Amino acid sequence: MSYSYLPPEDLPSQVPVDDSLQRKLDQAVTQYFSDICDRYTKAPLSQCGWYLTTCSNALTLVIICPDNRRNWEILKVLPSLRKYLAEFAPNTKICIYPPPGEGTSLKLRFQSSLLAR
């Protein structure tokens, strides 16, 4: 595929991704995210499976809810989750997966300006 019409900053990276460094980055970002969240935001997160990943072109928070009650609690703290994610990157995503057989996933994409704060 020819990318000659794209500016250099929009071209795919020529450097292969180091999986070990990627995992370490994801772990560090996850730990920092957990540290900056307030206790009201941490409470519903602690009842779910969750992680942050930097693999895509946006920082992504993935949350896996074990039941409908936890799913609802996560939905109530969405504004806080979005606020804390904005600390890291202007382009973020939140993916919320409900319990198996209880509906479809919710995928939200946010764009904000880090300079606007």
* Residue-wise pLDDT tens digits, 46-76: 999 999 988 767 889 999 999 989 999 999 9
93 close to 56: Cβ distance less than 8 angstroms: yes
Classify residue 30 by its DSSP letter.
H
Classify residue 87 by its DSSP letter.
T
- The CA angle 47-58-53, to the nearest 5 degrees, is 40
- Give the predicted TM-score (pTM) of the model: 0.77
Among 42-46, 55-59, 109-113, the range with the most confident prediction by mean pLDDT is 42-46
Parallel/antiparallel/unpaired status of strands 59-64 and 91-97: parallel
Comparing 17 with 52, which gets the higher pLDDT? 52
Check whether 41 has a pLDDT greater than 60: yes
